Amino acid sequence: MINKSIFILMVMFLVLPSWAYSAEMGTCKYDDFKKPKNCGMCHRQIYKEWKETLMSKSYTHAWDQVEYFKLALPHAKKLEKVSGVKAGCIACHSPLAFLSGDVPPKPADQDTRANEGVSCEVCHNITGTSEKVPFNFSFNIKPGKVKYGPRKDAVSPYHKTAYSEFHKTAEMCATCHDEQSPYGAWVKATYREWKEGPYAKEGKVCQDCHMPKSPGKSAGGGKERKDIAHHIFHGSHSPAQLAGAVDVSLACTDGAVSPGGVLKCQAKLYNGKVGHYIPSGSSEERMLWLEVWAVDANGKKYPVPVEKKGFKGEEYTIADSSAMTYQAIGEIMEIKGFKGLKRDGNIPDGARIFRHPFFDPKGRMTICQWYTKDNTLVDYRIKPRETKMEDYVWKLPADVPKGKLTIKAALYYSEIPSSVGEFFKLPKSEYRPIPVGSSEMSVNVK
Ligand code: HEC
Ligand code: HEC
Ligand code: HEC
Ligand code: HEC
Ligand code: HEC
């Protein structure tokens, strides 16, 4: 017979690892965590780098504030099914507020500690995950003196250190970078995209691309090392990271064409640098698109639309200025007579869009990832090391001038459809087209 208290101890021991420190609302206080500035006193370079990243602005940045306070929070109060996002958004975007039970937090202009976002203390108090394949803020966290990091021999005068294998894995990032909606749709899957792609097989993790290493010291008074991890986390908000992320090449029927004749071209897009799909992350609102046009000898421009391939859901991947959607915005904000916004913003008609459309329970395309019932109709993004080919067949106008005809192909990226950016009066920098790559070719009109 096992004595009752020993039995209880055994049960506690068995279940402890899975629940003891997993992220749960209201289990800590803000005071359990130091401010990033504190850490920056010694870790000056890392602090400076982190300050520039989106993760330091994950609560304060304009679009995050708008989406939470104007859409998700009111929606959570209105619709039981999505009520969990009131706290859920905060668990990833301002983990200290969530852990402290400060939900909803005060808006960013009130300058509370919610503004710290994904801070040093968040990542360096993380000890592991409660899931086998992590998603939805399933990190375990243990505030205190011990900072978990990648070194076995780190010694600090200010805090204890502990070696953490977890910090070198993609699973750590997956705790926040993969997300399932209340309807069970995978609305962020950067980790899962990476996992099934070539980089996971080669052992190249998120940190290898997003936290590049170079010689130096990580702290004043620290050891000189040859491979300090930089905290730059460049993603799609960094035009330099996007430039050249996909190679664009264009080939056309060579030789001569004549007015009224047909010109055939093919564009090849190769994703040779991105470890997951491009676009990834918030794919409900990200678009990558290819514009193709011809310029005749007099400088006149002619748009050249992409040839249809005939796959299911293709209509969502070809720009159409008459397509209106995002009606859920009007419902949530209670705008009478709201007809929706332009699905593709200002992308010129006929351009191919590499995107992953999400649909709400009423079957309309949505940028509200938490209100996504299904996104399995079509996923036309570019996988890691995939090449996509797009065909163009253009009948030259009968009056096109003789001489040089140049065909241009330009690939652009945008974070948010411009129609949504304009509607919410976001800073233009949030939704402008960012150039990714281009290619051109000339033929002779005889
Ligand atoms: C008084 C200076 C000082 C302050 C303040 C400080 N650290 Fe450190 N920290 C160090 C030194 C020194 C090291 C060891 C560096 C080395 O060995 O390369 C270190 C190492 C680390 C490591 C690496 C641990 C490992 O095992 O790899 C992490 C993570 C870390 N600090 C996080 C933090 C965080 C988070 C804060 C703020 C709460 C902070 N530090 C504040 C001096 C400081
Ligand atoms: C998004 C999570 C995240 C945030 C935020 C973050 N770190 Fe880190 N940090 C990591 C990871 C992961 C590593 C290990 C990277 C590797 O070795 O590939 C690391 C490594 C470190 C190291 C050891 C560097 C080395 O190479 O020896 C220090 C010190 C450190 N971080 C301090 C900080 C400080 C200070 C801040 C805030 C200004 C901060 N970190 C913010 C995830 C984070
Ligand atoms: C505690 C949650 C959390 C963890 C852990 C985390 N992230 Fe993030 N990350 C976020 C959030 C939230 C954002 C979005 C910020 C925003 O909306 O402004 C983000 C943004 C980013 C971006 C910027 C993307 C862009 O659009 O420019 C990159 C890159 C990134 N994270 C990489 C990583 C990597 C690599 C790791 C693992 C070492 C990691 N993150 C771990 C929550 C997290
Ligand atoms: C082989 C290098 C590489 C690896 C590995 C990699 N990334 Fe990226 N990542 C990139 C590049 C390049 C971009 C910029 C292009 C883009 O935005 O898709 C990027 C963009 C991102 C973005 C912004 C996505 C968007 O479209 O808004 C996030 C978030 C991100 N990475 C997180 C991660 C996480 C998490 C992992 C690991 C599971 C990871 N990355 C692995 C190279 C890499
Ligand atoms: C599982 C963690 C997680 C949850 C839950 C979550 N987010 Fe995010 N969010 C992220 C990550 C990671 C990114 C960065 C992806 C990228 O760069 O493409 C992000 C990106 C965003 C962005 C885009 C930022 C930009 O500049 O384009 C907005 C806005 C946003 N989230 C708002 C919300 C709202 C509102 C909710 C609640 C309905 C929410 N998030 C729930 C992790 C999460």
- Structure confidence by residue, pLDDT tens digits, 187-210: 999 999 999 999 999 999 999 999
Asked if 143 and 28 touch (Cβ cutoff 8 Å), the reply is yes
Q: What's the CA gap between 71 and 174, in Å, rounded? A: 25
- Which ligand places an atom closest to the C-alpha of 246? 4
Kindly indicate the confidence band of residue 253, based on its pLDDT and cuts at 50, 70 and 90: confident
Asked if 316 and 378 touch (Cβ cutoff 8 Å), the reply is yes
Asked whether residue 406 carries a pLDDT value surpassing 60, the answer given is yes
- Among 130-139, 252-261, 373-382, 395-404, the minimum mean pLDDT is found in 252-261
**Ligand 5 cavity residues, CB under 6 Å:** 61, 63-64, 67-68, 72, 85, 88-89, 91-93, 136-137, 176-177, 179, 235, 281-282, 370, 415
Q: Best mutation site among 92, 214, 225, 231 for ligand 2, i.e. most ligand atoms within 8 A of its Cβ?
A: 231
Residues in Cβ contact with 285 at an 8 Å cutoff, skipping those fewer than 6 apart:
367, 415, 416, 417, 420
Kindly indicate the confidence band of residue 14, based on its pLDDT and cuts at 50, 70 and 90: very low
Asked if 432 and 414 touch (Cβ cutoff 8 Å), the reply is yes
Interval 328-333 mean pLDDT:
98
pLDDT number for residue 5: 52
End-to-end CA distance of the chain: 99
Q: Best mutation site among 118, 123, 147, 155 for ligand 1, i.e. most ligand atoms within 8 A of its Cβ?
A: 147
Shortest-distance atom of ligand 4 to CA 280 = 26
The C-alpha R_g of the chain, in whole angstroms, comes to 25
Asked if 220 and 45 touch (Cβ cutoff 8 Å), the reply is no
Nearest alpha-carbon partner for 36 in 122, 140, 101, 150:
122
Asked if 281 and 194 touch (Cβ cutoff 8 Å), the reply is no
Asked whether residue 142 carries a pLDDT value surpassing 80, the answer given is yes
- Which ligand places an atom closest to the C-alpha of 149? 1
| Residue 61 in contact with ligand 3 by CB distance below 6 A | yes
**Ligand 1 cavity residues, CB under 6 Å:** 34, 38-39, 41-43, 120-121, 124, 147, 149-151, 154-159, 161, 163, 218-219, 221-223, 225
Shortest-distance atom of ligand 5 to CA 236 = 17
The long-range contacts involving 174-179, CB below 8 angstroms and separated by at least 24 positions, are: 174/129, 174/133, 174/134, 174/135, 175/126, 175/129, 175/131, 175/134, 175/135, 175/137, 175/138, 175/139, 176/92, 176/118, 176/137, 176/139, 177/281, 178/134, 178/135, 178/136, 179/92, 179/135, 179/136, 179/369
Name which residue leads in pLDDT, 301 or 6: 301
pLDDT number for residue 23: 84
And the tokens for 4? 């009752």
| Residue 124 in contact with ligand 2 by CB distance below 6 A | yes
Name which residue leads in pLDDT, 254 or 103: 103
pLDDT number for residue 22: 64
Residues in Cβ contact with 165 at an 8 Å cutoff, skipping those fewer than 6 apart:
none
- Which ligand places an atom closest to the C-alpha of 135? 5
| Residue 273 in contact with ligand 4 by CB distance below 6 A | yes
Shortest-distance atom of ligand 2 to CA 46 = 38
Q: What's the CA gap between 439 and 293, in Å, rounded? A: 11
> Dihedral through CA 113, CA 111, CA 67, CA 96, nearest 10?
0
pLDDT number for residue 299: 97
Interval 33-45 mean pLDDT:
98
Q: How far is CA 300 from the centre of its chain?
A: 37
Q: Whose CA is nearest to atom 42 of ligand 4?
A: 274
Q: Whose CA is nearest to atom 3 of ligand 4?
A: 275
| Residue 173 in contact with ligand 4 by CB distance below 6 A | yes
And the tokens for 27? 């289990």
Asked whether residue 16 carries a pLDDT value surpassing 70, the answer given is no
Asked if 411 and 313 touch (Cβ cutoff 8 Å), the reply is no
Maximal C-alpha separation, the chain? 99
And the tokens for 343? 């699905």
Kindly indicate the confidence band of residue 256, based on its pLDDT and cuts at 50, 70 and 90: confident
Residue with tokens 């070539």: 198
| Residue 100 in contact with ligand 4 by CB distance below 6 A | no
Asked if 136 and 180 touch (Cβ cutoff 8 Å), the reply is yes
- Which ligand places an atom closest to the C-alpha of 50? 2
Residue 157 CA, ligand 3 centroid: distance in Å: 29
Q: What's the CA gap between 279 and 276, in Å, rounded? A: 8
- Which ligand places an atom closest to the C-alpha of 173? 3
Residues in Cβ contact with 286 at an 8 Å cutoff, skipping those fewer than 6 apart:
236, 279, 280, 355, 413, 414, 415
